[in-house]
Structure 1
Amino acid sequence: MTTALITGATAGIGAAFARRLATDGHNLVLVARDTERLRRQATELHDLHGIEAEVLTADLAIEDGISSVEERLSDPRNAIDLLVNNAGFGNKGRFLDVSVADELMMLKVHCEAVLRLTSAAVPGMRDRGRGGVVNVASVAAFLPRGTYGASKAWVVQFTQGAARDLAGSGVRLMALCPGFVRTEFHERAGMGTDNIPGWMWLDADKLVAAALTDLARGKSLSIPDPRYKALMGAAKLAPRGLLGGITSKTGRKYGPQ
């Protein structure tokens, strides 16, 4: 039986990955900051699907948190077959409205943690000749959206570059770029969503199903919805100045996750 490690596992896209992978019979290592919530989730998934669900409490905004997950990923006695780097957050406000400390924390979670956890997981996968990494980015990676969009653009470029370097090794890496998903993401950041049209919202479970299909097909980039594929195609043709004006009106606080 294979084992998947998921960061940001207790809510939103991370919880949807946990549900789907448990349904498919994978053992899980669930990573988040809230120990009690992790334990409840682990018990529920074990009872429903008969899988083993390990709890690992870690805050990826601090050194000890990243190090503890690195250690688990590199343990040769308890191999991880699939890593889902999902942990992330948004800052409410535009550039200079958000403190540099908060911006640096975002870069630590979105970039440093993704780099280090991927680097910890992949060597063992390569030695075994199989494995996968899903790094959750955002369609904001393709738009001028300040630090949030820039960090997600880094995730996309890093993942696709690493996927190319590991071609033929049996290890698949994929950047997942969702649009607006009905999760706790915006509420946690104190962000309003009243101006987001209903058709732009995605279901987390359907998104995860599409993402896992894309991973199995060997894609290094997944935009798992026809609506957002069309929007991103149009964005490539639109002038950067126009895109900047549009995204500044909605505000960085509405960055998709």
Structure 2
Amino acid sequence: MRRFPYGTAMVTGASSGIGEAFARLLAQEGVGLVLVARRGDLLKQLASELESAHGVDIEVLQLDLTDESQVIVAEKRLADPDRPVELLVNNAGSSGSGYFAELPPERELHTVVLNAVVPLRLARACLPGLIARGAGGIVNVSSLVAVLPKPRSATYAASKAFLSSLSETLAMEVARHGVHVTTVHTGLTRSGFHAAAGVPTDALPRMKWLTADQVARAGLDAVAAGRPSTVPGLAYRIRLPLMRSMPRSVVRAITRRVHEARQA
């Protein structure tokens, strides 16, 4: 029996890391895929492997989702009534590393677009079809830092806070139509993301790292069950409600202490 009731899923940022893990798990369950990422060579390799291993139909869209004309291509694909997409996984994201006043503004705007604006646009493109069909879902890959101030990653944290808030509200709006929207609050994950963002990992705690597969499994299980959010990893599931319940002055003090220790 199939675990996930979807005929076709679109996964953004599918060429590596968490996005690739989502693609692999869905293909194993017989779900057709629309894979979206900038690196077409990696997408084609993944598509060929998954088609051979699982016999699923896979469409490759090599797109830079920070480019207006290219994000429109993804929107049109999601809104195509003749080729319905039952699950959207908004996974593509980016971050910089450094103090906000010292970073190139173009890079920070790039982060806002990819982490916040693009998921909003893609959700808006696919939701009317999902609602009309009375089924389907959206997974938005956010982060635990959405509830924290984050020195040296200010824009990343702010963009994830936007995504988490949007996702939670959408879950409330569309549940009555049989559509599920799930936010995945990730912790430290081995996915290549930190290296791409230029974030050093030497000072980060080794015991708290998740695998990309853990994150993807948690997200897919949650959206299939209709849960509006999930936190992969027991340590993080305990930590998130604590961070939300603390006075902001305490959160800032703890964050400052951790940040200073890592910079020492």
Q: Give the TM-score, by structure 2 length.
A: 0.91
Question: Which of residues 216, 238, 246 in structure 2 aligns to 1:238?
Answer: 246
SS at match of 2:137: strand
Query: Which residue does the alignment assign to 1:129?
Result: 134
Question: Is residue 106 from structure 1 mapped to residue 111 from structure 2 by the alignment?
Answer: yes
Asked if 2 retains the 8 angstrom alpha-carbon contact of 1:46 and 1:52, the reply is: yes
Residue 210 (structure 1) aligned with residue 215 (structure 2): no
Q: Give the superposition deviation at 1:226.
A: 1.4
What is the distance in 1 between the residues matched to 2:80 and 2:256? 44
**1:173 counterpart SS class:** strand
Amino acid at match of 2:33: L
Alignment partners' CA distance in 1, 2:104 and 2:258: 20
- 1:55 matches 2:60: yes
One-letter amino acid matched to 1:105? H
Equivalent position of 1:222 in the other structure: 230
Q: Unmatched 5+ residue regions in structure 1?
A: none
Aligned: 1:190 with 2:182:
no
Moved over 6 A (4+): none
**Structure 1 residues 179 and 246 mapped into 2: Cα distance closer, same or farther (>3 Å)?**
same
183-192 or 14-23: bigger deviation: 183-192
User: Counterparts of 2:175 and 2:89 in 1: how far apart (Å)?
Assistant: 19
Which residue of structure 2 lines up, in the alignment, with residue 17 of structure 1?
A: 22
* Distance of 1:101 and 1:241 partners within structure 2: 31
Alignment of 1:53-92 (within 5 A): 53-92=58-97
Paired letter, 1:121: C
Separation in 2 of the partners of 1:98 and 1:20?
37
Q: What is the Cα-based RMSD across aligned positions, in Å?
A: 1.6
Q: Over residues 182-226 of structure 1, what are the superposed CA-to-partner deviations in whole Å (9 max), with x where a residue is unaligned? A: 011011112210111121100111221122221122111111221
Which secondary structure does the structure 1 equivalent of 2:60 belong to?
A: strand
The whole-number CA distance in structure 1 between the counterparts of 2:252 and 2:134 is 43
Whole-angstrom CA distance in 2 between matches of 1:239 and 1:164? 26
Output one character per residue of 1:90-119: Cα deviation in whole Å (capped at 9) or x when no partner: 101022121222111111111111111000
- Going from structure 1 to structure 2, the CA distance change for 1:81 and 1:197 (only over 3 Å counts) comes to same
Letter paired with 1:158 = L
Give 2:169's match in structure 1, choosing from 161, 164, 179: 161
- Between the aligned partners of 1:2 and 1:107, the Cα distance in structure 2 is 31
CA displacement at 1:247 relative to structure 2:
3.5
Distance in 2, matches of 1:185 and 1:250, equals: 21
Give the direction of change, closer, same or farther, for the CA distance of 1:244–1:94 in structure 2 (3 Å limit). farther
Decide which moves more: 227-236 or 108-117. Answer: 227-236
Partner of 1:116: 121
Distance (whole Å) between structure 1 residues aligned to residue 219 and residue 90 of structure 2: 13
- Counterpart Cα distance in 2 of 1:63 and 1:128: 28
Percent identity of paired positions between Structure 1 and Structure 2: 39
Unaligned runs of 5+ in 2: 1-5
Tell me how far 1:248 sits from its aligned partner: 4.7
Distance apart, 1:249 and its partner CA: 5.9
1:143 alignment partner, one of 145, 148, 165: 148
Secondary structure of the corresponding residue to residue 9 of structure 2: strand
- In structure 2, distance between residues paired with 1:16 and 1:249: 34
Residue 167 (structure 1) shift: 2.1
Q: Aligned in 2, Cα 1:230/1:124: closer, same or farther, shift over 3 Å?
A: same
Please report how far the alpha carbon of residue 242 of structure 1 lies from its aligned counterpart in structure 2 after TM superposition: 3.8
- Matched residues in 2 for 1:97 and 1:228: separation? 31
Q: Which amino acid aligns with 2:228?
A: S
Contact 1:156 1:221 in 2 (8 A): no
Kindly provide the amino acid, as one letter, of the partner of residue 88 in structure 1: G
Does 48-57 or 213-222 show the bigger shift? 213-222
